[in-house]
Amino acid sequence: MKTIVWDVDDVLNDLMRTWFERWWVPSHPECPIGYHQISENPPHRLLGVSKLEYLASLDEFRLSDIAGQMRPVPEVLAWFRQYGDRFRHIALTATPLRTAPASAAWVMRYFGRWIRSFHVIPSPRESERIPFYDQSKEDFLRWWGKGDILVDDDSLNVTAARTLGIQVVLIPRPWNQSRMTLAEALAVLTSLTLQASPPSGNRGGVLS
C-alpha cells in the first residue's frame, strides 16, 4: 500500500487565498495586487511590507476563527472520497509550533478518516526557542524513509523529494511554475497511485 505525503496549507485547504482575501485586504484596502498576482511565496515584497509584518499577520490568521472554519479544497476532498481508502496518508506541514495544534485539528476534522499522522516542520519565529530535528521537509522525508508520493505546492519541496526518489505532484498555485489545472494535477496523482502512466500533455505538474 503506497503512502502519500500531503502538504496542508494551499493543498488540502486554500490558506493563502483565504488569508489574503478575508484577512489582509479588508485591513489593507490599498493593497496593490490580487490573489492571482501572488507570484512569490512569501509575498511580503509584493505587498510592500516587511517579512516580519507579513508573518505576524499570517500567524494571527492561522489562530483565528476564519482559519478554523476554512473548508477543504473541494476537488481534493472529492479525490480522497474516491481513492483515499486505497492508500496510507500522512500530513507534513511547515508552520510555527504555536499554530501547529490548530492545523492538526483542522486536518483531523476534515481528513481524519484517511490521514492518521500529522507531522510538522516548525517554521522559525524569533519568539520561539525550540529544538529543530529537521530543518526542512527534505530532512524529514530522508529520515522517515517511507513516503512514496509527495503532494505539495512548493517547487523546492517537490524538487527535493524527487532527489530522494519520491514521486511528486505539484499543486498549481500562482507562486509556482505549474501550468496544469488542479483537475489535471489530481489526475496525475491518480495515475501515479494506480501504477499507470501520467496523462498525456503533462505540463509541469509532476517532477519525477
Report the distance separating Cα 127 and Cα 32, nearest Å. 30
Question: Which residues fall within 8 angstroms of residue 78, CB to CB, at 6 or more apart?
Answer: none
Do 25 and 116 lie in one domain? The reply is: no
> Is residue 136 situated within a structural domain?
yes
pLDDT digits (tens, 9 = 90+) for 132-159: 899 999 999 999 999 999 999 999 999 9
Q: Structure pTM?
A: 0.91
pLDDT in tens, 175-189: 998 999 999 999 999
At 77, which CATH number?
Answer: 3.40.50.1000
CA of 111: how far to CAs of 65, 78, 105, 141, 182, in Å?
Answer: 19, 11, 10, 21, 19
Q: Based on the fold, state whether residues 21 and 79 are members of the same structural domain.
A: no
Mark whether 31 and 105 lie in a shared domain. no
| Domain, as residue range, for 166 | 3-14+71-193
99 and 157 inside one domain? yes
Q: Which cell is 90 given?
A: 500522512
Contact 25, 3 (CB under 8 A): no
Residue 19 included in any domain: yes
**What confidence score (pLDDT) does residue 197 get?**
38
Q: How many domains does the chain have?
A: 2
